Chain A
Amino acid sequence: MLKATERLERLVSMVPWLIGNNGATIDELEDRFQYPRETLLNDLTKVLFFVGPHPHTPDNLIEINLQDGEVWISQANYLSRPLNLTYAEAFSLLAKGKMLLQLIDENLAHSSLVSALDKVANCIGANHEQVVVDPGVRDSEIYSLTHNALLNKKKILIRYYSFNDDYSSERLIQPLGLGINDRYLYLRAHCDTANDFRTFRMDRIIHAELSEEGIDTEFLESMDLEPTQNPIDLDFQFSEEGWATLQIKESDSWIISKYPTTSVTEKSNNMLEVTLPISSNIWLGRLLLQLDPETILAEVASGVDIHAGHNLAKRILSRYGFNE
C-alpha cells in the first residue's frame, strides 16, 4: 500500500502527463507511474475529483472522466506541467547517463541519451559537461568479462599480480561480487586454486578468461557468505610478526598517517624513528624506494630482510645494465 506522500508524488507527475497525452488507459497509467490499480482508481475518483482552489465549486474542481478503462482529466491547468527536478534527481540522472555513455558501445545509437542529458542539465541551470565520469578499470575488457561471469555464474581463469610479493599466479576463481574500498575496485571470489576465499584488486588482474565451468552455487551457499555489495575491508593484511624500525626524514613523515605505525620518536639527528608493521620484504623494499635514499633501516623483526631496500635497488639497477 502506497503512503499518502507516495501517492501525492505520483499524482503530481501523472496528471500533467495525462493532460498532455489527452487521456490514457488505466493499464498504461498503472504501468508507467507504478500506481497500483485499485489505489489509482480510488485516488482518481475519491480524492482528485474533490481538488481545486477555493471556493471548491464544480466549475473549479478537477474533472475526471473515466470510461471503459480510459481516463481524461480537465480543469487542472495549474497541474498541467510537472514539478521541476530536484538537484539530487538531476544529478543522479546525469551521473548515471554519463556512466552509461562511457560503458556502452560507441556504435550503439545513444545520441538520444546525449540529448536527453543536455535537456536534464539545462532544466536546472547546469551544463552537462559539469559532470564528468571516468570509468577507469570499468572500461577494460577484464571488467566486462568479470561482469559477464558474475551475471552468468561462470568461473574465471585469471592471472593475478600480487603487489606485495611481486609475483604473478594463475588461478581458477568463482566470482562472488564487486566491492569498493578507498579508490579501488575489488573482486571477491572463491579461489579454487587456493581452496579459500580471496579478494582481488581489479586493476591487478593481468589476464582473464571465461571458463565453461559454472560456479558451484550449492557449495558457495553452504559457506554462509556475507552480502557481496558490502565494501571490502582492506587492501592487504599486515602480518602480526613482521615489523621494521626506520629513521626517516621529516619530509617522509607522511608514512606515519598512511600506515599503522606502533611508535614514533624524535631523534637527536632531526630524524624521526618510526616502527611499523610490514606486509612482506617486497613491500618493505618498495617503501624504502619511495623514501629519501638517506633513510636508515635501523632494526627489523626476525625473518624480515634488513637488506630489503638494497636488494630491490640491485634488482632494478640490473635492468639498467648494472650487474655487479
Chain B
Amino acid sequence: MEILYCDHHDWLQGWLRRRLGNAADAADLAHDAFLRLITRPAPRGFDSFGEARGYLRAMAQGLCINLWHRREMERAWLETLAAQPEDHAPSAERQAIVLEALREMGALLLDVPPKAARAFLMSAVCEMSSQEVAEELGVSTRMIRKYVAQVMLRCMRAQACQTAAGLRENVLA
C-alpha cells in the first residue's frame, strides 16, 4: 500500500485536479480513493504499474461523477427553494432531509433510462395517476406501471443492502 501510495498519489491528485478544476476537491477525492483501497483492497492485488493506474483511474472517475452528482443535486434543491416564496422556506433540518432524499433518489435514478425515471418521479413523487403520466409521456399505462415497478425494485434492492449493512454494524458494535 505504501508503494502504491508513493507511486500514484501525486499522479492521481493531478489527474483529478485537471478534471475537477479544483485542488481542494482533488485532494479530498485522492484521499478517498486510497482510503477505499485500504478498506476494500482490489481482489487480487496489481501485477503491474499500468494495472494499478488503470484501476485507480476507473475509481477516480467514479468518485468524480459522485462529486458532480452531489453538486448537481444541491443545485437542483437550490433552484427548487429559490422558486418558493421566502416565508414558506422549510426549516434547516427539513432542508437537510430533503437534500439527502434528493441525493439518494438521484443516485438510484442515474442509471435508469430517462423515460422510466420520469414515469417514476411523476407517479411516486407528483402522485399523478398512471393515466395522466401515460398521456404526458406518450406511452401506455401498462408501460408506466412497468417503469414504476422497475424503479421501485431498484430502490428496494438498495434499501435491502442498506438494512443489511445496518444490521452488520449493529452486530459489530
Judge: A and B partners, yes or no. Answer: no
